[in-house]
């Protein structure tokens, strides 16, 4: 069931978009997913066999068709990570602190996310 709440700003738990930035936002217990992320999930499900028995069991075509949705998932996750880091930076959190929790140097964190 799709719904939108006006009182609180809801976000897609997968891509981080606000309810105002997506056409539909589906809710579950402590989690929300937007229509675009549902489409990505559906593509992944379509591209992969219903019972997963390892990448080696997939045909070349199945494996090739799974690459696009996999990249879309990585990109969506990367966008969420960038939004989180941008928010931390706006709050004045140092690159040193961000790099620290990511297991990288201040310089590496800055080069990757600034
Ligand atoms: Zn989403």
Residue 102: enclosing H or E segment and its boundaries? helix 95-102
Instruction: Give the distance (Å) from ligand 1 centre to CA of residue 78.
Output: 12
Instruction: Give the distance (Å) from ligand 1 centre to CA of residue 29.
Output: 16
Instruction: Give the distance (Å) from ligand 1 centre to CA of residue 12.
Output: 5
C-alpha 81/C-alpha 52 separation (Å) is 28
Percent of the chain, pLDDT > 90? 45
Bridge partners, residue 2, by sequence: 26
Instruction: Give the distance (Å) from ligand 1 centre to CA of residue 66.
Output: 19
The overall average pLDDT reported for the chain is: 87
Residue 28: enclosing H or E segment and its boundaries? strand 25-28
Q: Model pTM?
A: 0.51
Give per-residue pLDDT as tens, 56-85. 888 999 889 889 888 888 888 888 889 899
Is the confidence at residue 4, as pLDDT, over 70?
no
């Amino acid at each position: 069931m799709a719904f939108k709440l006006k009182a609180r700003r809801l976000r897609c738990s997968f891509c981080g978009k606000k309810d105002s930035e997506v056409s539909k936002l589906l809710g579950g217990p402590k989690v929300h997913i937007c229509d675009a992320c549902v489409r990505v999930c559906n593509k992944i499900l379509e591209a992969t066999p219903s019972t997963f028995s390892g990448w080696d069991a997939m045909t070349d075509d199945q494996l090739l068709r799974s690459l696009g949705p996999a990249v879309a998932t990585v990109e969506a996750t990367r966008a969420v990570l960038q939004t989180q880091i941008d928010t931390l930076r706006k709050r004045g959190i140092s690159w040193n602190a961000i790099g620290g929790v990511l297991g990288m140097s201040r310089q590496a964190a800055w080069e990757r996310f600034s």
